[in-house]
Amino acid sequence: MAITISFAFFIFAILAKTNKRNQKTKVMLQLNVKNETSRLRAVVLGTALSNGPTPTIEEAYDPKSLEHIKAGTYPVEADMIKEMEAFNAVFQKYDVKVFRPQIIENYNQIFARDIGFVIDDIFVKANILPDRERELDAIQYVIDQIDPKKVVRPPEEVHIEGGDVMPWNDYIFIGTYKGSDYKDYITARTNMQGVNYIKELFPNKIVKEFDLVKSKIEPRDNALHLDCCFQPVGTNKGIIYKSGFREEADYMFLVNLFGKENLFHIEREEMYHMNSNVFSIAPDVVVSEKNFTRLNNWLRENGFTVEEIPYAEIAKQEGLLRCSTLPLIRD
């Protein structure tokens, strides 16, 4: 009997050591995002499954959703699932590792960009609207695959969402709202404390903030995030909406940095349809909405491969392709 017990302890000790060794050798995600366009290797893509009923007017987070709720044209789940699966199919085509959120019943989990972002090898958990905190929990299984020392959460007074944050090599571009009435705007998602937090976190980067126009009632005058009025493509080009910036100096900063000839200027209606919210899989590959005819032609004329997909239903919620993604690893 004593031999049997000793043998059992021996086996238990071996299993415990093996388990410990496996934990040590567990493959962690090696985060790396230095810009918006380098070859994508791993990404979180939101989901439209179990998206829930059409929100009430009181539940609308932005003026475009509000417009479609009132008009009875708010997107239905089946159509949004089709659009997101078309996006996923493009990722599969380019052999990108795709993570999806765990499903929360009757809950909108499309816009993964808002809940976090990666700069270099650091994952920043966004301080989002309190009602959306569960969206972070739904990707905890992904965060668990990241070195805990590389995961940070800003203090409570820091408001920041991923749609406002754009790493661009030596720069980090951040959309904000500097108006004294910041607290009155549900469409103002990143404050100056958020900008300063990123400056402290990345002292070797040039952090440039952009003061964006906001509206609670007119989506054509509301740059919800920076990617609603600007986004780099390729290595030296960009898509821009001049009237999305409250100060002309902010617009001119980008014109001087990229060169006016390298910027595709979108019109007010194109901004409304989210033309600047495309998504880059590589410096020469851009995923775009199939109805963005003028933009898609310009991209092709400038040497880009354009992967066109339908995304017009999701766009009714004032978010598009970039908004639906959270890149984890780029070359």
Per-residue pLDDT of the chain (331 residues; tens, 9 = 90+): 544 555 545 555 555 554 554 444 568 999 999 999 999 999 999 999 999 888 898 887 677 888 888 889 999 999 999 999 999 999 999 999 999 999 999 999 999 998 999 999 999 999 876 777 899 999 999 999 999 999 999 998 898 989 999 999 999 999 997 866 556 555 556 889 999 999 999 999 999 999 998 777 677 877 779 999 999 999 999 999 999 999 999 999 999 999 999 999 999 999 999 999 999 999 999 999 999 999 999 999 999 999 999 999 999 987 899 999 999 999 9
Residue 307: left if φ>0, alpha if ψ -120 to 50, beta else—which one? beta
SS3 content of the chain, % helix, strand, coil (to 5): 40, 25, 40
Which strands, in side-by-side order, build the sheet including 122-125?
116-119, 122-125, 151-152
Distance CA 313, CA 83 (A): 8
Distance CA 264, CA 262 (A): 7
Q: In terms of residues, how long is the chain?
A: 331
Cα 199 vs. chain centroid, distance in angstroms? 20
Q: Which two tokens stand for residue 201?
A: 């976190």
Distance CA 241, CA 271 (A): 7
Which pTM does this prediction carry?
Answer: 0.89
Tell me how far CA of residue 182 lies from CA of 55, 133, 163, 189, 264, in angstroms. Answer: 24, 21, 17, 9, 30
Distance CA 260, CA 317 (A): 30
* CATH annotation of 28-330: 3.75.10.10
Q: Which pLDDT does position 13 carry in this prediction?
A: 53
Give me the numbers of helices (H) and strands (E) for the chain, helices first please: 9, 15
Q: Which two tokens stand for residue 35?
A: 């810009």
